Amino acid sequence: MAELIRPSTVLPAQRRQITIKTSDGLNLIGEVATPLGEITGSLLMLHPNPSGGGMMDSHIYKKAANRLPALAGIEIIRFNTRGTTSEAGSSDGEYDGGKSEKLDVLAALDYCFEQLKTKDLYVIGWSFGTELALQYARDKRIKELILLSPPMLSTTDEDLEFWIKDGRTITALIPELDDYLKPEKARQKFSKVKNLRQIDVAGGKHLLVGEPIVHLVLSEIVKVIAPSRLPLPTEV
Per-residue pLDDT at 1 exceeds 90 = no
pLDDT at 132: 98
The rounded mean pLDDT for the chain is: 98
Give the whole-angstrom CA distance, residue 57 versus residue 59.
6
Give the whole-angstrom CA distance, residue 19 versus residue 40.
24
233 inside domain: no
Give the whole-angstrom CA distance, residue 108 versus residue 32.
12
86 inside domain: yes
Nearest CA to 31 among 73, 80, 85? 80
Domain CATH for 198: 3.40.50.1820
Q: Which pLDDT tens digit goes with each residue over 183-235?
A: 999 999 999 999 999 999 999 999 999 999 999 999 999 999 999 999 999 99
Cα→Cα distances 203→51, 146, 233, Å: 25, 20, 22
Q: Which pLDDT tens digit goes with each residue over 10-33?
A: 999 999 999 999 999 999 999 999
231 inside domain: no
State the residue range of the domain holding 100: 14-226
Do residues 192 and 165 lie in contact, with contact meaning Cβ atoms separated by under 8 Å? no
> Do you find a cis peptide bond into 231, omega within 30 degrees of 0?
yes
51 inside domain: yes
pLDDT at 108: 99
pLDDT at 222: 98
194 inside domain: yes
135 inside domain: yes
Mean pLDDT across 93-109: 98
DSSP state of 65: H
Q: What is the pTM of this model?
A: 0.98
Burial class of residue 52 in the structure, from the number of CB atoms within 10 Å of its CB (0-12 exposed, 13-18 middle, 19+ buried): exposed
Q: Which pLDDT tens digit goes with each residue over 44-54?
A: 999 999 999 99
Total count of domains within the chain: 1
Q: Which pLDDT tens digit goes with each residue over 113-128?
A: 999 999 999 999 999 9
153 inside domain: yes
Burial class of residue 232 in the structure, from the number of CB atoms within 10 Å of its CB (0-12 exposed, 13-18 middle, 19+ buried): middle
